[in-house]
Structure 1
Amino acid sequence: MDEVSGDAARYRTGLAVRRSVLGDRHVERAEVAATDFDQPFQELITEAAWGTVWARPGLTRRERSIVTLALLAALGHDEEVAMHVRATVNTGASRDDICEAFLHVAIYAGVPAANRAFKIAKDVFSEMDGSQNDR
């Protein structure tokens, strides 16, 4: 397999994994919003993050979700924390898992980072619970 066909396969795998974790609507919004300027970035994250790292067999999607949430919270990437909290409905990570991840953040990355992550998660849970009640 040459590099180009390898990249294409990694992209296809990444797109499938990205859709299964974040949901079709999220991925479609990202694709529609992409411009010539940021299309290379969309391709990079689809291939590298989703087609390489998230597609690896070493951890389950639930485990990757927990690790990702802890890292994003520790780094203060609020929008990504919210997005990945929403994605837990697809990865199988529970609210208890998220709590445990953020407790680790408090000890290893600082209470302010964990405090912010807990607030974001609570807001997302409230939004998710409200949308479930609207059905």
Structure 2
Amino acid sequence: MQVRREVLGDVHVDAAVAATTPLDAPFQDYITGAAWSDVWGRDGLDRPTRSLLTLVLLAALGHEREFEMHLRAARNTGATPEQIAEALLHVAVYAGVPAANTAFAALKREYGGDPRTEAVQREESS
């Protein structure tokens, strides 16, 4: 659970734990052990690299909600927006431009640089 908290943050993990029911408790136990202990807890790759790999896979598979969650988590892993953008170029070539386009839009929303988001923010602050 420690690695999960370090990567996703206490707020996210506490919300996931609080929302756990008897129906999904085994699933929560499984992902905490398999993903966060058995994989993220290994020494073979550093956290920024694991974060980039996770983002690339989620983008390629079209898992937008999980991708956005891991974009936020990338702030805790040390993966930079520039590194994420480089990784998304690989998504475009190997998994398709639409998948990368969707991921780049989320990246711009999370880290800035999306003119649509910036226009809305300017309107709200006026």
Give the structure-2-normalised TM-score: 0.87
Query: Unmatched 5+ residue regions in structure 1?
Result: 1-14, 131-135
1:21 aligns with 2:7: yes
Identity of aligned residues (%): 58
| Residue 90 of structure 1: aligned partner | 76
Q: Cα deviations across residues 75-112 of structure 1 (Å, max 9, x unaligned)?
A: 00000110000011110000011101110000000000
1:124 aligns with 2:114: no
Task: Find the partner of 1:75 among 55, 61, 64.
Answer: 61
Q: How many residues align?
A: 114
Task: Find the partner of 2:48 among 48, 59, 62.
Answer: 62
| Residue 38 of structure 1: aligned partner | 24
Distance 1:84 1:24 in 2: 14
Query: Unmatched 5+ residue regions in structure 2?
Result: 113-117, 122-126
User: In structure 1, what residue type is equivalent to 2:91?
Assistant: V
1:125, distance to aligned residue in structure 2 (A): 2.1
Distance 1:50 1:68 in 2: 12
Distance 1:59 1:28 in 2: 26
Distance 1:89 1:40 in 2: 29
Root-mean-square deviation (CA, aligned residues, Å) is: 1.3
Give the structure-1-normalised TM-score: 0.82
1:118, distance to aligned residue in structure 2 (A): 0.5
